[in-house]
């Protein structure tokens, strides 16, 4: 996409407008339409999007937010940045997403919101989660940092919950040239509050209505994202083709393969396999010159950053097992079939050696 990206950057440079300008306005409109939401608000990154949503809802000290025990730490950090307390709930073993059946047991008088994370690109069971939230009068904030294009019942993730936080980190299905993010919502009041909070608490220049932050999405990122939105569907379809090849190749092995819940569409941000001898498989691939990543090696409840919560590691056996066994194989619209075949052959060789 070099020609389109070069043209987008030139457009910004020629305009001389670098913040809160026409590229951002257009990108917000186009992203909201793509997601099926009424509003989109550009943010500096996905973590700030999570944080400011909670701020916009006045969720803070003394409040609790239900989060998955199995997620990247940013989900928890968004909660603690707002001054609230994350309350972890175990995931489903097959999808790795938060288990709705365990959410209600974690609700207390201090609970103010539920934060499902569409991990690896698999959409959470939003129908069940929204039903629980409505029964208990709770807000739902979706962490969709990995779910650009995921669907529930034919409807794209981006408008199911009360607000949805997005990351446009460069490696995402939709990535900027650096850190960038957004929020989508159907609530005009939430969108208006977020626009103030991201810009020093100001809706009118030099008039500050609330104590705000500097969390703006820059014009140059917005311009590039506008070009990439145009090809996002095609790139996601390419990911599906590659995933289907992986699934077929590994179907008869003892690997735990990713699943797709009926009624959902996976965005396939990551292709994660699981195996008790994960480290041996990874070492064999490394010797073959194939890069892999572990998403994620340490669950949030084991991180030193959250020692103060006093969480018992034994209380999260499913998250512990997932983090000990998961391995992400190469995946992306750029991956050639020949390169993927090398990966498949190396994985099969590694399994035979175990």
Mean pLDDT in each 10-residue stretch from start to end of the chain (354 residues)?
97 97 98 97 98 98 98 98 98 97 98 98 97 98 98 94 97 98 98 98 93 97 98 98 98 97 97 98 98 96 95 94 97 97 98 94
85 CB-near residues (< 8 Å, 6+ apart): 63, 64, 65, 79, 110, 309
pLDDT value for 159 = 87
Give the span between the Cα atoms of 209 and 314, in whole angstroms: 46
pLDDT value for 220 = 98
Query: Half-sphere exposure (CA, 13 Å, Cβ side) for 114?
Result: 30
81 CB-near residues (< 8 Å, 6+ apart): 47, 50, 51, 54
pLDDT value for 248 = 98
Burial class (CB in 10 A: 0-12, 13-18, 19+), 80: middle
pLDDT value for 183 = 98
DSSP codes joined into one string, 37-63: -SEEEEES-HHHHHHHHHHHTT--TT-
Other CB atoms within a 10 A radius of the CB of residue 301 amount to: 21
Peptide bond into 296 cis (omega under 30): yes
**Each residue of 268-299: pLDDT tens digit?**
999 999 999 999 999 999 999 999 999 999 99
């Amino acid at each position: 996409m070099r020609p389109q990206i070069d043209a987008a950057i030139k457009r910004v440079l020629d305009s001389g407008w670098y913040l809160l300008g026409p590229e951002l306005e257009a990108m917000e409109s186009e992203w909201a339409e793509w997601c099926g939401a009424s509003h989109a608000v550009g943010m500096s990154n996905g973590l700030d999007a999570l944080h400011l949503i909670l701020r916009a809802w006045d969720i803070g000290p003394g409040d609790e937010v239900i989060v998955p025990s199995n997620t990247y730490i940013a989900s928890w950090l968004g909660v603690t940045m707002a001054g609230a307390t994350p309350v972890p709930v175990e995931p489903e073993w097959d999808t790795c997403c938060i288990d709705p059946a365990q959410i209600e047991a974690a609700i207390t008088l201090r609970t103010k919101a539920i934060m499902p994370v569409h991990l690896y690109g698999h959409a959470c069971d939003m129908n069940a989660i929204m039903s629980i939230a409505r029964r208990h009068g709770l807000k739902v904030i979706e962490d969709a940092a990995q779910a650009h294009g995921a669907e529930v019942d034919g409807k794209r993730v981006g408008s199911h919950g009360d607000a949805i936080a997005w990351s446009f980190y460069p490696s995402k299905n939709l990535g900027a040239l650096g850190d960038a993010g957004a929020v989508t919502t159907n609530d005009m009041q939430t969108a208006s509050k977020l626009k103030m909070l991201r810009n020093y608490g100001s809706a009118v220049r030099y008039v500050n209505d609330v104590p705000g932050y500097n969390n703006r999405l820059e014009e140059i990122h917005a311009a590039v994202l506008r070009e990439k939105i145009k090809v996002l569907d095609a790139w996601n379809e390419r990911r599906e083709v590659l995933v289907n090849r992986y699934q077929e190749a590994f179907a008869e092995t003892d690997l735990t393969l990713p699943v797709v819940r009926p009624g959902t569409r996976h965005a396939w941000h990551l292709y994660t396999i699981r195996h008790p001898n994960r480290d041996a498989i990874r070492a064999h691939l490394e010797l073959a010159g194939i890069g892999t990543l572990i998403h994620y090696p340490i669950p949030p409840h084991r991180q030193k950053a959250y020692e103060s919560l006093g969480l018992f590691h034994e209380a999260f056996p499913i998250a512990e097992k997932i983090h000990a066994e998961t391995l992400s194989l190469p995946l992306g619209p750029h991956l050639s079939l020949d390169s993927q075949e090398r990966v498949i052959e190396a994985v099969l060789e590694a399994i035979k050696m175990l």
